[in-house]
Structure formats: C-alpha cells, structure tokens
C-alpha cells in the first residue's frame, strides 16, 4: 500500500465520522480562582513539572497524552536540567505518572477533557486548556505563548484536525535537527487562521528552516456549512497556505499539513493547483502527511521520520516517500 492510500488507515484516531460525532463529550471541572491559588500555594498542583505537562497542550491547542509524552521526551532529551517528570524512564511510564498528573490537573480545573469513541469502539481522550491555564503557563515558564481561545468549541472536524497536527508535530519535535520553538512565539495568526507551532530546524548543511505544522482537514459538515460556505473555506485554506509560504523572506519557510484521508488530500491538491498561486519553488516547501501514514509506517520509521511525507508537483503529480529537506 502506497503512502497516499495509507492516509485511509482504519486504525486512525483523529477522524470525523458518525461514531465520533455521536459519542463526543466535553468534561470540565470548575474551580474558583481562590481555590486554585490555595492548591498552588500548598504545592498540591501546578508545580513546575505540572506546568511542563500543560505546556504542549497550550502549544498544540488540542492533543492526547501520547503527543504530550513525546514532546516532553524531546525537551528532556535536549535539556536534562529541566524539571520534567514522568517521562523518559520505564518506571514512570509503567506507573503512568504522566496520566496521573494529567488526571489531577483535570480534576482541579486546569485541563479540559474531550472524550469520544473511534471505530471499533476505541475510547479516546484529548486535552485542551481554559484561558487561565494558558496564562499560568506563560507566567511560570516566562515565555510568550498565544494559544487559541475556545479551541474546545471549534467545529468537530477542526478539533480532530488539530489533534492530528499535534500528533505529527510531537514526532517532529523529537528529530535531531529540531532546535526549538520559533523565538518563543508559538502561534502564527494570518488570514484568520491560527497555526500550530512553528519549529526551528538546522539541517546537516547548516541551513536554518522555520517549519509550521497545521492540518488540512477539509470536511463539508452539512450541519453547519452550506455548499458555498464550504467552498469558500477551501479557498481560504489555500490562500493561507500561500501566504504562509510567502510572507517571510529572510529564512527558508516550510509548511507541513496533516491530512485526514486520501479524499481530503486530493481535494486540497486540486484546489491548490486551480488557484494558480503556487510555482514549483513554493510547492517544494509544502509537505503533506497524516495519521494514517504514521500508523502504517511503524514506530521505528515514525521516529526516524524518513519517507513519511508527500509533495505535490506543479504538473499535478505527487511525490511519495519524501523526507523533507529540513530533516536531512
């Protein structure tokens, strides 16, 4: 099975289908500010290791425990002095220290849970944060962080798209060429679309790259969109992709899009080519992948990140088994 066909892998988790729609449930425990402050002061919760657990959730807007763990694995691997607990050792993983802390952070109102079932009846949990949690992380880690607001209330296919992009981004953060978040600015706002993280890379030739990770989920949800509105949303997505690849001049910029399935991928490719906005050079910096490709590849290939991407050519052909230049 080729890379394009594997976008449809049946074991995908971040999908927009009837079972997900019918079982999707939001869970949040409300705590008054005074009670939260008391628990923080007592050291019960929101210690620095907890803040690092919350950081990737703020960064990705929506993600699962596995994406959180991978991001923290990478941070601890590169910076062993950071107060990151619950990852990187077999005992913590076996006892699920990270899961225990995430559950406590949920129970004390610092996290929201998004629960659903994916076929065939696999329970799934995603995490997102309320506004005050993002403000706490910003203060505690002394960084500039501009998380998306009300991410839990986005259209469901967008929630799934963000989780899918977070999955890809967490693997990308483990690569040896990864150097960190772009100047501490974790979000890019343009064309009314908030991108997920922007990563800095330096390849084997010492060339610097700035890489945005987003999602390409293009689903006509007839419950909320007319046909015209959906078509306009596709045009907006294509315009955003073009603007992102164009607006920076001093550093080589690439964009990685996580796609839901083969149909989704082909629809976006057709729209990109029909727009007339892209030349071969811009298309060479645009990479497609998806959860299905990562699942079909196996864990070793996922961590090496070799050949897990697609690239569109100006004549409409698609390159498979691509390794982006920033990962070489």
Number of structural domains, the chain?
A: 1
* Domain range enclosing 62: 3-327
Separation CA 103–CA 106 (nearest Å): 5
Phi, psi (rounded to 5 degrees) for 281: -65, -45
Work out the average pLDDT over 123-147.
86
Q: Which residue has the tokens 């959180």?
A: 68
CB 52 within 8 Å of CB 72: yes
| Residue range 269-290, pLDDT digits in tens | 999 999 999 999 999 999 999 9
Model confidence at 300, in pLDDT bands (50, 70, 90)?
A: confident
Mean of pLDDT over the chain: 87
What does pTM read for this prediction?
A: 0.91
Residues 6+ apart with CB under 8 A from 244: 188, 190, 195, 212, 253, 255
In terms of C-beta distances under 8 Å and separation of at least 24 residues, what long-range contacts does 306-315 make, across chains too? 307/3, 308/3, 309/3, 309/256, 310/3, 310/4, 310/265, 311/283, 311/284, 311/286, 311/287, 312/269, 312/272, 312/273, 312/283, 312/286, 312/288, 313/280, 313/283, 314/273, 314/278, 314/279, 314/280, 314/283
Over the stretch 16-49, which tens digit does the pLDDT of each residue have?
999 999 999 999 987 777 777 777 777 777 788 8
pLDDT score, position 23: 94
Is the pLDDT at 308 greater than 90, yes or no? yes
The Cα–Cα gap between 319 and 311 comes to 5
- What are the start-end ranges of the E strands in the chain? 25-27, 112-118, 122-128, 178-181, 189-190, 193-194, 198-202, 208-215, 252-259, 286-290, 309-312, 318-322
Rounded distance between C-alpha atoms, residue 90 and residue 111, angstroms: 25
Number of H helices, E strands in the chain: 14, 12
């Amino acid at each position: 099975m080729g890379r394009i066909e594997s976008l449809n892998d049946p074991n995908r988790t971040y999908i927009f289908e009837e079972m997900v729609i019918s079982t999707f449930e939001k869970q949040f425990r409300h705590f008054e500010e005074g009670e939260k402050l008391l628990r923080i002061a007592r050291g019960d919760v929101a210690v620095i290791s907890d803040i690092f657990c919350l950081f990737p959730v703020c960064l990705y807007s929506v993600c699962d425990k596995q994406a959180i763990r991978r991001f923290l694995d990478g941070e601890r691997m590169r910076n062993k002095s950071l107060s990151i607990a619950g990852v990187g050792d077999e005992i913590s993983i076996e006892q699920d220290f990270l899961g225990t802390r995430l559950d406590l952070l949920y129970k004390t109102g610092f996290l929201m849970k998004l629960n659903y079932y994916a076929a065939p009846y696999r329970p799934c949990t995603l995490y997102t944060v309320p506004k005050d949690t993002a403000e706490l992380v910003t203060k505690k880690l002394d960084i500039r962080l501009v998380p998306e607001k009300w991410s839990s209330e986005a259209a469901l296919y967008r929630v799934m798209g963000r989780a899918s992009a977070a999955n890809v981004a967490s693997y990308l953060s483990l690569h040896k060429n990864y150097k960190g978040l772009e100047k501490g600015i974790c979000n890019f706002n343009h064309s009314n679309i908030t991108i997920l993280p922007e990563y800095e890379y330096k390849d084997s030739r010492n060339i610097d790259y700035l890489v945005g990770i987003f999602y390409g989920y293009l689903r006509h949800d007839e419950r909320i969109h007319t046909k015209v509105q959906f078509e306009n949303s596709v045009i907006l997505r294509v315009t955003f992709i073009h603007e992102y690849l164009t607006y920076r001049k001093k550093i080589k910029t690439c964009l990685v899009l996580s796609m839901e399935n083969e149909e989704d991928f082909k629809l976006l490719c057709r729209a990109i080519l029909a727009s007339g906005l892209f030349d071969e050079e811009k298309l060479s910096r645009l990479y497609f992948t998806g959860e299905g490709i990562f699942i079909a590849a196996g864990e070793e290939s996922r961590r090496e990140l070799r050949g897990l991407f697609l690239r569109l050519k100006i004549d409409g052909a698609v390159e498979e088994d691509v390794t982006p230049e920033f990962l070489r």
